[in-house]
Structure 1
Amino acid sequence: MTPRRSAHMTIMVAAAQKAARRLVRDFNEVEHLQVSVKGPSDFVSQADMRAEQTIREELERARPGYAFLMEESGAHGSENWAWRWIVDPLDGTTNFLHAIPNWAISIALEKRLPEGGSEIVAGMVMAPALDELFWAEKGAGAYLNDRRLRVSSRRDWSSALFATGIPFARTAPRNRLAFARVLGALMPETAGVRRMGSASLDLAWTAAGRYDGYWELGTHLWDVAAGALMVREAGGYATAPDGGDALSGDIVAGNPHIHPRLRELVGSALETAKT
């Protein structure tokens, strides 16, 4: 039976689809720009901004009172919002820049709770170049297109595959050291570690059981809000290394068998890196 999407999810998918059409056209031009004197960086930056503007316009038209948190342009709307869209219009910009198809549009919906705080109630990750739409709603499960998702059931680390984000030039020294410790511990006893360059897709693929575990340090809310919900709705865990909020900057996700040890490993590496 085809799963029924809520009105919110229908709006999110429609906004992403509109932005995706232009992004796909731009993506098909990137390969030609690789040989230009100016290079493709400015072109991709403009593609990113155009996609964000399109998504904002579509979401605002459908739900004019909602606030926004957007990767490129920051926060918009009332500080006392009841509902907020969280948008990364092009997650995997470097992949896009190099004509690698692993990039995505990520949109999440956050709801303010009467008792204080907030929660992510819906999220979608669209990979236009791969023709895949991942989506999840709180309490209703996670899906790839119309197929229900479940995290993997692997227990044995020797057959488990992990994903991560490798630190780069602007990464804090503490995170670089912690990453190296975790990677050094994983490499000898797992099936491998992958770095695909898009946090939202890494989480979506963990929800789909393609990866057994995922960790990354120093993420932003727009990187992981949608994907973390997907992992949970697919039967997995997505938390901070200390077991707290997964949206606080450092995230560990995985199936119920893999997550506890991975979380302990990442947490220990971070503590060691402080000294």
Structure 2
Amino acid sequence: MSLERFSLNQWTTRYWPLPDLVAGCAEAGVTGVGLWREPVAEYGLARTAKLVRDAGLTVTSLCRGGFFQQPDAIAENRRAIEETAELGAPALALVSGGLPEGSRDVDGARQRVADALAELAPYAGRYGVRLAIEPLHPMYCSDRCVVSTLDQALDLAAPLPAAQVGVMVDTYHLWWDPGAYAAIARAGAEDRIALFQVADWITPLPEGVLTGRGMLGDGCVELRRFRTAVDEAGYTGPIEVEIFNDDLWAMPGAEALSLCVARFAEHVT
């Protein structure tokens, strides 16, 4: 496996300006990038689409939609779907959101996710965009994501067309789950795998857990086992390296990218 499946998620090199990121990827032979809505909006949506297209890169996903506990979630997610389509990305990453402020009703929060997906899926279909439900580690359940396992994500996707709603496999969030590999096989059988992301889990976690993802090979995740399982499930698409880590963010962008590529070859492929 060569670099054709490697994709650099923009947040891995968070402070690398978008034009420099695009030029650096092109120079390194990396053809895929996963983008985030905030820096895209700052640079300009149409301008970003042209920049990436002119450099010969493919946008592998846009992050993120979801956060369905917010009162304006449906309208905001419609805008995110439109942005995904304009960038030519096949998938919009969905982080479902946590509990509304003051609420303890986790079942109600999960039902809200299901209702939102039912409303948004046809809209995504009209734009040729696939909603990629991303389960997050259970420690994020209260505030960021009430969907914690791949099976939960698949159950939410099940009533809706696979072309409109899929799931994301993220090693950082799923490595702990004893049912993860069976769920990956299920996702493949149901044609639901929309995206595959890799990062490692380091112990002990840094104080700021949101920036505690490890460089590939620095932690305890069986990265190659995940990649093999996803391949065997029939997924042949991009593999995004998405690492939130202060030390990595402090590195020059080109240096961080080079390290990611080397570790990807060593631990994932």
Query: Quick check: TM above 0.5?
Result: no
Structure whose CA Rg is larger: 1
TM-score by length of 1: 0.29
TM-score by length of 2: 0.29
Greater RCO between the two (CA within 8 Å, min separation 6)?
A: 2
Greater share of residues in helix: 2
Greater share of residues in strand: 1
